Amino acid sequence: MAAVDLATHPGHLARRLQQAHYLLWNTMVSEETTSPQYAVLNALVAEPGLDQRTVGERVGLDRSTIAEVVSRLGRRGLLDKVRDPQDGRRSLLRLTDEGLRVHRRLGVRIARMNQVFLAPLAADEQAVFFDLIRRVADAAEGLRNPAEPAVAPG
């Protein structure tokens, strides 16, 4: 069997892209706060008082991952859980003052990291890049049966 050209395999390229992002994140943004943790902080800045399930949906994290991220952020004092007054079985998430400070501080670093990350692309190419990866990511989240690939519009 002949070797395949991995440059034509989206999973391989996505993994390489993720490795580059991870390296830049750890060197330019934070070794303490992960990208998924920041995404949760950001979701709660945008919409304070969401429940854990909804935050997970907003940032694309499964139930077990969002539970772990929320637990870690809570232990660090960056968010609090409060009982939903309309449904006592449900907890709502709110950032603490420290959580808001961390979000603000990291936001500046992330902007710089994104400039470095996207530097190989011209501004118009960046817009196309975001459109394409967003479409693939959105379609991947909507897959019900991986054996039946999503069909391109057209």
Residues 6+ apart with CB under 8 A from 40: 55, 59, 61, 66, 69, 70, 73, 79
List phi, psi (to 5°) of 55: -60, -45
DSSP label at 50? Answer: -
Token couple for 27: 């060197």
Q: Is 103 annotated as a binding residue?
A: no
Q: Is 12 annotated as a binding residue?
A: yes
Q: Is 89 annotated as a binding residue?
A: no
Helix ranges, 76-122 (H): 97-118
Helix (H) or strand (E) holding 140: helix 123-141
- Feature table: binding site: 9, 12, 15, 21, 35
- Feature table: binding site for 3,4-dihydroxybenzoate: 9, 12, 15, 21, 35
